[in-house]
Structure 1
Amino acid sequence: MNKPDFSNLKALYINCTLKKSPRQSHTRGLIDVSMKIMEKEGVEAECIRFADYDVAPGVYPDMTEYGAEKDDWPEIWEKVKAADVLVIGTPIWLGEKSSEASKLIERLYSMSGLQNKKGQYIYYGKVGGCVITGNEDGIKHCAMNMLYSLQHVGYTIPPQADCGWIGEAGPGPSYLDKESNAQKNQFTNRNTTFMTYNLLHLAKMLKDQGGYSNYGNSREAWDDGTRWNFENPEYR
């Protein structure tokens, strides 16, 4: 089995816990499992906590232009733009992703109309995944929502691009609590490992081949009148 070289990749994890630093984040605990794999593989990996920034809600690149007093999103955007892999981490509240995760996805959407050097939408050639923790049901529901959102704005999603841990239904221990024994959960550890390598494999393939061909998917070319093999069918 040949060992791939992932050392030219950059990964950004955005932890959408509701807690500001330095409070303990159980979601960060599971993120760290994935991040350590990437770091051992030579990947430049970084995790930021979204709640530590003053990010205004909205769907424009800089919300100070639309009435917000402050907006740290442009600073975060530079990290997102530089990353080959983006992983969103969220806790589960009332069966849903956190409000911070919703705001992050809205701000990712705000940049999705930008174009890369090929005239494609800006997220083409980048890979996305998600990490989810909680002590109630909802991992697959949250993953379904976030992974759909990422692919819709242009990220590519590999097989099994999500991982998570939940305890028993109702109040109980969380991921980092010793009594949860979560760090020895083989299902979670396996899925987290597989997710991490699936993200890396796909990101490497895309980066090595220079992303996607812009034949048939360039907004720039479309606006200039190129239609490739598109035509409206004639109905009789």
Structure 2
Amino acid sequence: MADQTETPALNSRFDDLKAVYINTSLKHSEGESHTALLMQASADIMRKHGIEVEFIHAAAHHIAFGVYPDMTEHGADRDDWPQLWPKVLDADILVIGTPIWLGEESSLCRVIIERLYAMSGELNAKNQSIYYNKVGGAVITGNEDGVKHSSMTILYALQHLGLTIPPQADCGWIGEIGPGPSYGDEKEDGGQVGFDNDFTQRNTTIMTWNLMHMARMLKDAGGIPNYGNDRKALQAGTRFDHQNPGYRA
């Protein structure tokens, strides 16, 4: 019987992929963010396989709220989103991380989702959503209930925009309900809170590899075919086999 601890050989390369992690912690300093620690655990796996990884700490930027590509054209005094957008556009993998507040993702997380939505009118070379052929995931931390709920809303939003969501595309850590230590805080025994949590380690690993595998599959396949989702063709009247009920006999 083969050694079950042995790492199987990989038949795929990943060093032509790019990943962007957007941390929507409310802490202005990335170094103080507990969410950043768990996102880093995922990113470290990607870096080991040559993936170019970039972190965006949203609170360190002035990202205006709104649903237009540049909110300075709609009343905002300043908007850093137009400078951040090219990083997202170039990425094959997009991961959004958030802490939990009152059972929900952070307010800044919703701003990021709204700004991603602002770009949903853009099309790729196949006249599909600009988000087609990108893969999405979610990382959640907190010390109260809401990990799965927050993942649900984030991943729904990403797939609605056009990203592909692989199986088990989220991970999280949650402490005891109520005030208490956060992910990465020091324990009395010298360890760090959450680092020895098997469930978190397992899901972080599965999420990361499924993001990598799906991104690889999409790139190797040349992306999702545009039959049936070519927006310009649909606008021009192409039905793609959809029968208008009004013309049925």
Q: TM-score, normalised by structure 2?
A: 0.92
Counterpart of 2:71, as a letter, is M
* Secondary structure in 1 matching 2:22: strand
Tell me whether 1:229 sits opposite 2:237 in the alignment: no
Counterpart of 1:57, as a letter, is F
**C-alpha distance 22-2 of structure 1, shift in aligned 2 (>3 A):** closer
Contact 2:38–2:139 (CA<8 Å) still a contact in 1? yes
Length, aligned pairs only: 236
Match of 2:27 among 11, 15, 19: 19
* Secondary structure in 2 matching 1:165: strand
**C-alpha distance 213-188 of structure 1, shift in aligned 2 (>3 A):** same
Bigger Cα Rg: 2
Q: Per-residue deviation at 1:22?
A: 5.0
Q: Per-residue deviation at 1:2?
A: 3.9
Structure 2 match to 1:79: 87
Match of 2:75 among 67, 70, 73: 67
Q: Per-residue deviation at 1:125?
A: 0.8
| The 10-residue stretch of structure 1 (186-195 or 1-10) with the greater mean CA deviation from structure 2 | 1-10
* Secondary structure in 2 matching 1:107: helix
Hey, what's the Cα distance between the residues in 1 that align with 2:240 and 2:157?
27
Counterpart of 2:229, as a letter, is N
Q: Per-residue deviation at 1:23?
A: 4.7
Structure 2 match to 1:103: 111
Structure 1 match to 2:60: 52
**C-alpha distance 13-22 of structure 1, shift in aligned 2 (>3 A):** closer
RMSD between superposed Cα atoms in Å: 1.2
Counterpart of 1:187, as a letter, is F
Q: Per-residue deviation at 1:231?
A: 1.2
Structure 1 match to 2:49: 41
Hey, what's the Cα distance between the residues in 2 that align with 1:171 and 1:97?
17
Tell me whether 1:220 sits opposite 2:220 in the alignment: no
Structure 2 alignment gaps of length 5 or more = 1-7
Hey, what's the Cα distance between the residues in 1 that align with 2:229 and 2:193?
47
Hey, what's the Cα distance between the residues in 2 that align with 1:9 and 1:59?
28
Structure 2 match to 1:211: 223
Structure 1 match to 2:185: 177
Q: TM-score, normalised by structure 1?
A: 0.97
Q: Per-residue deviation at 1:202?
A: 0.4
Hey, what's the Cα distance between the residues in 2 that align with 1:10 and 1:23?
23
Matching of residues 144-155 of structure 1 within 5 Å: 144-155=152-163
Counterpart of 1:192, as a letter, is T
Q: Per-residue deviation at 1:225?
A: 2.4
Structure 1 match to 2:39: 31
| The 10-residue stretch of structure 1 (18-27 or 132-141) with the greater mean CA deviation from structure 2 | 18-27
Q: Per-residue deviation at 1:193?
A: 0.4
Hey, what's the Cα distance between the residues in 2 that align with 1:42 and 1:202?
16
Hey, what's the Cα distance between the residues in 2 that align with 1:118 and 1:131?
30
* Secondary structure in 1 matching 2:171: strand
**C-alpha distance 60-159 of structure 1, shift in aligned 2 (>3 A):** same
Hey, what's the Cα distance between the residues in 1 that align with 2:156 and 2:30?
31
Contact 2:142–2:174 (CA<8 Å) still a contact in 1? yes
Hey, what's the Cα distance between the residues in 2 that align with 1:22 and 1:195?
22
Percent identity (aligned): 60
